[in-house]
Amino acid sequence: MRKYFVLVIISVLSFSAFAQQPKQVQLVSSQLLKGLQQKGLVRIIRPIFSHDGSTLAADSANFNQSQNTFDAFGNVVITQSNGTTVYSELLNYNGNNKLAILTRNVRLIDGDATLSTDFLTYNMGTKVGSYTGGGKIVNGQNTVTSKRGYYFANSRDAFFRNNVIVTSPEALIKSDTLRYNTTSKIAFFYGPTNIYGKDDTLYTENGQYNTSNDQARFGKKNLYTQGSKSLKGDSLFYDRRAGYGRAIKNITFLDAAQKITFKGDMGVYRKDDQSIVATKNAYVIITTESDSSKVDSIYMTADTLFSKVVLKSLVTPYRKDELKKDTELDEPEPKTSPEDAVNAAYSDKKELVKAAPAKSARLNRKDKKAIEEKQEDEIILKDSVKTNPEPDSLIILQPKPDVIKAKTDTVKPKLTKREARKQAAEKVTEKPVVLLKDSLDQDTAKVRIVMAYHRAKIFKSDLQAKSDSMFFSYGDSTVRCYINPMFWTQGSQLSGDTVYLQLKNKKLDNMLLQHNSFIVNTEENDSLHFNQVRGKVITGFFKESRLDRLFVDGNAESIYYVKEKDEYSGMNRMVSSRIKVLFEKNKLSDIISIKKPEGTYYPVDKIPVDEDILKGFIWKPKDRPKSMEEIIPSFNKAARVLKPKLPAKPLAKKTEVKKAANEKKN
C-alpha cells in the first residue's frame, strides 16, 4: 500500500512537471538557414516564429532551439492574438518566460494607443510592458511622456513615474506619479500634479482628470487658480468646459486683486462671471486698516454668501429709489451726477424753489415778498446741507437751566440775504456722502460685489453689525445693510431701515442711516441713562476708522444726560431740524442742536415719566457680536473643543455633611 502511494505521488509530480514545461518556440517559415560556429545556434534569414498564439518576425535571427530563445535583428514585428503589435530594431526573446526585450525605435500599438521608447521589456504572457529610459504614449489627441512607465495591455492602463507630462487639446498636465487609461482617457494622480489650462491652473496630490470631457475630481491639497483668484477645499470638482467648480469642506476662495477672502464648508465657483457661492459656516474677510501700521479686517458672515464680478457702472452709491422717497419728488431723478442724487435727499423744497418764480407774478407784493424770503431760506438751507456747514446759532445740550434761559433771550443781529449766503459758504466743515472718486472710472471697468443672505453679521474690533442681508461693492467700497440693520460702536447702538457703511483707502470713512434712524448711547454697565437721537436720515463720519461725528436730519429729536463730577445732574430733551453728535476719545462727548431748536431741561430727580425715552427706542446689547469666533460657527466650535475642561469638584464626605448640618442648627 505504501509503495502504491509513493508511485502515485511520483506520477502526479511528473505530470505537473510536464504540464508546467514551457512551450517551444516554433519556426514557421524562413528563407535561409545557416549553421553557426557557436554550438546550438542557427542563423535564419527572414524568420517567422510562432509561440503561444503570438507571431514574431524579423529580417534575421540567431535561434537556439535547445534553450528556447532567439535574438532577432531588423524590422522586428510581434503580433499577438488580442491585436497588440510591437515593432523594434532588435529583440531578445526567451520562450521559457515569454519575456521580450526590445531595443531601438520600439513601438507598442494597442488599438488607438501607441507606446514609443528606445528600450522596452515586454512580457507576452501577462501583456505587461515597461521602460526606464524615457518613453511616451500617444492616445488619440493625448500624449503622455515620462522617464519610467508600465503598460498593461489587458486593462489598457499605463503607469508613469518621474517627470510625467500629459498633453491634451485643452490642458497640459505635469505630475510625479500618474495612471492613464487609454480606453476611458482618464488620468489618475498619486502625487503632486499641476494641470495647466489656457488661463487657469489646477493642483492636487490625489485625483483624476478626464481628458475627454475636461472634468477633474481632486481629493488632497487641492487648488484651482485663475489669475488673481483661487479656490481650494478638501474635495474639489471642476468642469473646465462649463467653467464650473465645486469645493467641499474647508474651502477658501481668494481674490488677491480685490483683497477678499471667502471661507466655508461648501462652495461653487463659475468662471464666466467669476462668481462664488459659499454656504455652511461661510464667512468673508474684507481687508481694512485701522491706521497706517495695523490691519483690522472686517469679518462678514451669513447663511449664504454670494460674490461675482460686474460692470462698475452697474454699482450706484446709494439706492436712488430710496432717496426719491425721502425727497417726495414728482420729477424724475437728476442726470447730472451722483452728488446731486445724494444731495437731493436733504432738500424737501426743491419743487417749490423751481416753481415759485412763475407763481409770484400773480401774487400781491406782500405775499410775493414772503415767498421770495422763503425761497431764500430754502436755498441757504440747501447749500448748507450740501456742504454741511456749521450753523449760525448752536444750542449746546449741556448747560444748566439758567444758561438755557439766557440763550433764548439772546437776540442776534439780522443778516441780509447776501451775508447769510456768504456766511454759509465760508463755514464748510463736511463733504456730502457720495460715491468715491476712484470708483467713477470707465463704465466698462469691472468690480467685485458680495451679497450676504439671512442672519448676516459683521465683526470688526471696534464695530459690529447685524441684519437680515448685506451687500458690499468694491466699486464704491460700501456695505449696504437691509431689513432690521443694527450697528454697535463706541458705546453706541445705531439702527435704521437701511444702513450704508463706506470705506475709503481701506479705512471706515462714513455711514448713512435711512428711515427711522435711531442712536442709543450709554456708558458701560449703565442700564438706566440712555442718550438718544432719532431722525429721518443720519450721516456719520469716521476719523482713523473711529466714529467722529454724526448729523441727524429730518424731525430730529434727542435726549442727552448732563454729567457733573461723574454724576448725572439732569437731562436735556431737544427737537430740531438738524442735530450734530460728536465723539471724543471713543465716547459720545456732545450733542448739538442746529436750526430752530426747541429744548427742555429736567433735573435728574424731576424727569417726567416716559419723557426719558424717544419713540422707536430699542436697546439690544445681547445681539451685539462679541468676537469673531461668535459669528463664525466653525471658529466657535473649534474654541469649544480647545477649551479645557475644569476638574470635577470632589464630593463631600458624609461626616463633613453631618458636621455642617449640626453647625447650622447651633
pLDDT digits (tens, 9 = 90+) for 574-590: 898 888 988 887 788 88
Give whole-number Cα distances, 334 to 235, 320, 343, 344, 347, in Å.
51, 10, 11, 9, 13
Specify the pLDDT at position 304: 92
pLDDT digits (tens, 9 = 90+) for 189-211: 999 999 998 888 999 999 999 99
Specify the pLDDT at position 36: 63
Percent of the chain with pLDDT over 90: 33
User: In the CATH scheme, what architecture does the domain 437-629 have?
Assistant: Sandwich (2.60)
Task: Classify residue 285 by burial, with Cβ atoms within 10 Å: 0-12, 13-18, 19+.
Answer: middle
pLDDT greater than 70 at residue 124: yes
Q: Tell me, what DSSP letter sits at residue 607? A: P
Q: How far apart are CA 395 and CA 13, in angstroms?
A: 119
Q: Which of 540, 500, 487, 522 is nearest to 612 (CA)?
A: 522
Q: Tell me, what DSSP letter sits at residue 613? A: S
Which of the given ranges, 98-112, 630-644, 645-659, has the highest pLDDT on average?
98-112
Mean pLDDT of 456-482: 90
Specify the pLDDT at position 411: 41
pLDDT digits (tens, 9 = 90+) for 646-661: 454 454 454 554 555 5
Bigger pLDDT: 445 or 128? 128
pLDDT greater than 80 at residue 424: no
Specify the pLDDT at position 249: 92
Specify the pLDDT at position 292: 56
Bigger pLDDT: 624 or 13? 624
User: In the CATH scheme, what architecture does the domain 26-245 have?
Assistant: Sandwich (2.60)
Bigger pLDDT: 436 or 554? 554
Bigger pLDDT: 67 or 445? 67
pLDDT digits (tens, 9 = 90+) for 134-188: 999 999 899 999 999 999 998 999 999 989 999 998 889 999 899 999 999 999 9
Q: How far apart are CA 250 and CA 65, in angstroms?
A: 66
Q: Tell me, what DSSP letter sits at residue 288? A: -
Assign 459 a pLDDT band (cuts: 50, 70, 90).
Answer: very high
pLDDT greater than 50 at residue 566: yes
Mean pLDDT of 643-648: 49
Assign 538 a pLDDT band (cuts: 50, 70, 90).
Answer: very high
CB 556 within 8 Å of CB 573? no
Beta strand ranges found along 47-98 (DSSP E): 48-51, 54-57, 60-64, 69-79, 85-94
Bigger pLDDT: 522 or 373? 522
Specify the pLDDT at position 317: 55
Task: Classify residue 206 by burial, with Cβ atoms within 10 Å: 0-12, 13-18, 19+.
Answer: middle
Output the nine-digit C-alpha cell for 137.
Answer: 504614449
Is the sign of the CA dihedral 630, 634, 635, 641 positive or negative? positive
Bigger pLDDT: 416 or 620? 620
CB 570 within 8 Å of CB 563? no
pLDDT digits (tens, 9 = 90+) for 609-637: 888 889 989 999 889 988 888 888 666 55
Specify the pLDDT at position 641: 47
Q: Which of 258, 235, 256, 237 is nearest to 246 (CA)?
A: 237
Bigger pLDDT: 256 or 435? 256
Specify the pLDDT at position 215: 92
Specify the pLDDT at position 322: 40
Mean pLDDT of 431-445: 42
Which of the given ranges, 320-334, 383-397, 646-660, has the highest pLDDT on average?
646-660
pLDDT greater than 70 at residue 448: yes
Q: How far apart are CA 66 and CA 132, in angstroms?
A: 31
pLDDT greater than 90 at residue 413: no
Specify the pLDDT at position 526: 72
CB 475 within 8 Å of CB 439? yes
Give whole-number Cα distances, 389 to 199, 312, 381, 533, in Å.
53, 32, 10, 20
Mean pLDDT of 417-445: 44
Q: Report the alpha-carbon angle 541-542-543, nearest 5.
A: 130
Residues paired with residue 593 on neighbouring β-strands, in sequence order: 395, 579
Specify the pLDDT at position 361: 36
Specify the pLDDT at position 587: 80
Domain boundaries, the chain: 26-245, 437-629
335: number of Cβ within 10 Å: 7
Do 437-629 and 26-245 have the same topology in CATH?
yes
Mean pLDDT of 527-538: 88
Bigger pLDDT: 638 or 145? 145
Assign 338 a pLDDT band (cuts: 50, 70, 90).
Answer: very low
CB 161 within 8 Å of CB 180? no
CB 532 within 8 Å of CB 519? yes
**At what angle are helices 350-360 and 365-387 packed, to 10 degrees?**
160
Specify the pLDDT at position 148: 92
Give whole-number Cα distances, 9 to 1, 4, 15, 17, 102, in Å.
13, 9, 10, 12, 42
